[in-house]
Amino acid sequence: MKIVIPDDYEGNFTDSAQLARLEGLGEVAHFTERPRDEGEMAERIADAEVILTVRYQTDLKTTALLDAASKLRFISVWGTRPRAVDMKRARKRGVSVAVTPGAGSPSVAEHTMMMVLALAKRLPFQGPAMQAGAWERVQGVELLGKTLSVIGFGHIGSKVVPMARGFGMEVLAWSKNMTPERAAKEGARAATLDDCMHCDFVTIQLHVTPETKGIISRERIAGMKPGAFLINTSRAALVDMDALLEALREKRIAGAGLDVFEPEEPLPGDSPFRTLDNVILTPHVAAHTEGAVEREARIAVDNVEAFIRGEPQNLVFEDA
């Protein structure tokens, strides 16, 4: 079995136990350098029967690369959805695709709460002021008794709930298929999306779909409390970023914590978001922890092993 990791540019598998597991399953080609062009990538995967692709680095959706792998039978995606795979073409060719659901969810939930705490205690302002030699005391926000909403109640959103409740917060939750019983089981209260937007802290944990793209609209941002904070560790396409920028500039909301950006990443150096003192920005690293990386790698290899064993797991069938 020829197994190819074409895009491990951060060296997550280098000298690892998971790479050794793969080598016990077949012949492994492991690439850590970026290819010069699409042609070189096509050469890497030409003989692959299994591709393990890391963090959507290889575009098997809008290029001809999927067709270049004529022997391909299985794609193991290090990630929660097959964002870079043309699932229609994969299905037509009989290529199975698996993902790593929930692997990064503890870390992303922690990152969400880190941003809640940092915004509440005014760290975007007070940290740089102290480093600059100033001594300016700005009043923070106590979390006890405040409301926090979880918009999207999957692997990540459900983990945010007990963390927030640990600080004495009341948690409201919304998702497309939310029920009062499901929310209550996790310690939250089911609410409408508009009610969730009226909380003191609004956290977003949704996947991007045609239905959810832009769901945090200009109108919904305008309806937030003047003292509210918005935290997005999911996908920037869920939010009207222009409307958010205006609300932050004009202090119509208190602040935001952003780990994801549109229309492009990396965030340009001249982005106006970089100039604001009521925003915490991180470079899409919520799931980039040692725990999450270990789980992602292990589950991605588990998926390969299960496929070879004839018992495929974590399969997906629709485009992300």
For the question of residue 235 being annotated catalytic, the response is yes
CB of 298 closer than 8 Å to CB of 306 = no
**Cα 173 to Cα 220: distance, rounded to the nearest angstrom:** 16
Token reading at 271? 């982005």
**Cα 99 to Cα 240: distance, rounded to the nearest angstrom:** 28
Token reading at 80? 């929660």
CB of 169 closer than 8 Å to CB of 143 = yes
For the question of residue 284 being annotated catalytic, the response is yes
* DSSP state for residue 239 in the 8-state scheme: B
Tell me which of 81, 235, 288, 295 is the catalytic residue.
235
Torsion sign, CA atoms 47, 49, 55, 58: positive
**Cα 287 to Cα 3: distance, rounded to the nearest angstrom:** 25
For the question of residue 265 being annotated catalytic, the response is yes
H helix or E strand, kind and range, residue 72: none
* DSSP state for residue 206 in the 8-state scheme: P
CB of 229 closer than 8 Å to CB of 200 = yes
Tell me which of 284, 294, 298, 305 is the catalytic residue.
284
Burial class (CB in 10 A: 0-12, 13-18, 19+), 57: middle
Tell me which of 265, 274, 309, 318 is the catalytic residue.
265
Using only the alpha carbons of the chain, give its radius of gyration: 21
Kindly report the three-state secondary structure assignment for every residue of 98-157.
Answer: ECCCCCCHHHHHHHHHHHHHHHHCCHHHHHHHHHCCCCCCCCCCCCCCCEEEEECCCCCH
Q: Provide the annotated active-site residues.
A: 235, 265, 284
